[in-house]
Structure 1
């Protein structure tokens, strides 16, 4: 079966005023959709066509001859995950096991947020900032372009897309403002908690 563009988990205008319907129409409808289309074209009639996104990402990571496949597969996965990391009325602070684990591994929630904002703000060019589970420990990492922490044996729990197309229509070059708004008003801690429980 060809890969398909997953529907957004909320209405296109549901994240306004923080992320506008205009941004989501381009980011989801054009950018994410293009990765899906490109991936399907690249894997058609190959042994990768029957594999999952995760299997394709792991099978092609670091292989220069399959860079196009990796980049498109990882971007399909990264974006599908990113949409889930946000919700209308999001933000605030996590609770339960996630809150306890963050406090244990980072020292405090504030220290975790500082690390995540630094990763998102210092990723040069395009990429992603992540909260991951690495072995038994939570860590903040950043990746370039389409890279995904799963290729390093880490389990993604949360991501912030810091490609310019994620925020430029709403925030222009003010990436720190977008990241702060994501954390204050959009992040879906319930989803992150579910990822931790499943990791």
Structure 2
């Protein structure tokens, strides 16, 4: 039985076009090296921690380093995949909208902050809207290096993958346009669901 597994995406690989091409979501192996598409990310992220758990305690240290990294990668890949979908809703609803107004000064200010955060990612990583379980408020953070940059008490709500494999085949080096177009596929209903669950299930420190 698999210990780590990513679910299939809840939509067709071409469902996010024209903003994210099907070629990006599932490029043919001859067109791109392993690691660029969702299928390869699924195998790489879910497979390594399974191998690490099966390995004896004296196994190569690489697997001990890889296990927390790919476990975190499984979580980030699952969240970022689920929070993308073509919908008619173009802004956050309900209580999430109220929180964004309160802590970021409105949706336009939040969007500008999130985009600047994404474009500030150097190399590879994510721009993330999180829920801080201690402060009981949302924050925007950069997430990279799964082993050394996993903020304590942060629950991811919305993630934008800024690794090159998510945009280069379609946008080349124009990351700014990629980030702007990505807003068209944000599944705000799923972000709202995550927001409500994070607030209800993470009330703060365990006494």
What is the CA–CA distance in structure 1 between the aligned matches of 2:116 and 2:192, rounded to whole Å?
Answer: 22
Please tell me whether the aligned partners of residues 128 and 156 of structure 2 are also in contact (alpha carbons under 8 angstroms): yes
CA offset digits 1:49-88 (Å, max 9, x no partner): xxxxxxxxxxxxxxx9832111111111111111111002
What is the CA–CA distance in structure 1 between the aligned matches of 2:161 and 2:64, rounded to whole Å?
Answer: 23
CA drift at 1:91 = 5.9
What is the CA–CA distance in structure 2 between the aligned matches of 1:147 and 1:41, rounded to whole Å?
Answer: 17
The answer for the alignment partner of 1:116 in structure 2 is: 114
What is the CA–CA distance in structure 2 between the aligned matches of 1:91 and 1:122, rounded to whole Å?
Answer: 27
What is the CA–CA distance in structure 2 between the aligned matches of 1:73 and 1:172, rounded to whole Å?
Answer: 29
The answer for the alignment partner of 2:203 in structure 1 is: none
Gaps of 5+ in 1: 48-63
From the two aligned structures, give the one with the greater helix fraction. Answer: 1
What is the CA–CA distance in structure 1 between the aligned matches of 2:150 and 2:125, rounded to whole Å?
Answer: 15
Please tell me whether the aligned partners of residues 90 and 189 of structure 1 are also in contact (alpha carbons under 8 angstroms): no
What is the CA–CA distance in structure 1 between the aligned matches of 2:14 and 2:191, rounded to whole Å?
Answer: 22
The answer for the alignment partner of 1:12 in structure 2 is: 13
Distance 1:163 1:148, change over 3 A: farther
Structure 2 counterpart SS, 1:132 = strand
What is the CA–CA distance in structure 2 between the aligned matches of 1:94 and 1:190, rounded to whole Å?
Answer: 8
The answer for the alignment partner of 1:35 in structure 2 is: 45
**TM-score scaled by structure 1?**
0.84
1:188 aligns with 2:187: yes
- Range with greater deviation from structure 2 (157-166 or 26-35): 26-35
State the structure with more CA Rg. 2
Gaps of 5+ in 2: 27-35, 199-207
What is the CA–CA distance in structure 2 between the aligned matches of 1:149 and 1:92, rounded to whole Å?
Answer: 30
Distance 1:76 1:65, change over 3 A: closer
What is the CA–CA distance in structure 2 between the aligned matches of 1:6 and 1:45, rounded to whole Å?
Answer: 24
Please tell me whether the aligned partners of residues 52 and 64 of structure 2 are also in contact (alpha carbons under 8 angstroms): no
How many residues were matched structurally?
183
CA drift at 1:145 = 3.6
